[in-house]
Structure 1
């Protein structure tokens, strides 16, 4: 059975500005299992989506407010935040 996962995506700082939104709810195909898969799926939107997530501009990810690696598994109904690295001062 090929079921969809529902995710609440949140974009911060440069990503929010470039993509023109701060949050969205998406249904992703079952084969989108990790943050890396999600980013590849988002890049298929083209334009700024591809530019921001192509690997040339760094970003970090958090699932349910815990910072994770791109290989972290996405649970159904998770909140996924994508944001630029934060530099300390």
Structure 2
């Protein structure tokens, strides 16, 4: 699947996108974020619990328990503010 990183997530990870192949057992968005966080310091900073990263699966906003199995694209971005 393609992982897209936006704004501060992109800055911490050090890239805008990449192809990823999560291992078996990574089935939810929360599990995917945990797997990504274990890939290195930049990823750990981007996906820390304090980071408040939001995500979209195949261009639809998703919650932590959403399944990522079979997804073509997962996008990660910081919480948005404004009005």
Q: Tell whether 2:42 aligns with 1:44.
A: no
TM-score normalized by the length of structure 2: 0.92
Task: Answer whether contact 2:52 2:78 (CA < 8 A) is retained.
Answer: yes
Q: Which runs of 5+ in 2 are unaligned?
A: none
Alignment of 1:21-40 (within 5 A): 21-40=15-34
Q: CA deviation at 1:46?
A: 2.5
Q: CA deviation at 1:77?
A: 4.3
Q: Tell whether 2:80 aligns with 1:79.
A: no
TM-score normalized by the length of structure 1: 0.86
- The whole-number CA distance in structure 1 between the counterparts of 2:24 and 2:66 is 15
Q: Which runs of 5+ in 1 are unaligned?
A: 1-6
> Which one has the bigger helix percentage?
2
Q: CA deviation at 1:66?
A: 0.4
> Which one has the bigger strand percentage?
1
* Counterpart position of 1:88: 82
Deviating more after overlay: 69-78 vs 36-45: 69-78
- DSSP-derived class of the 2:12 partner: helix
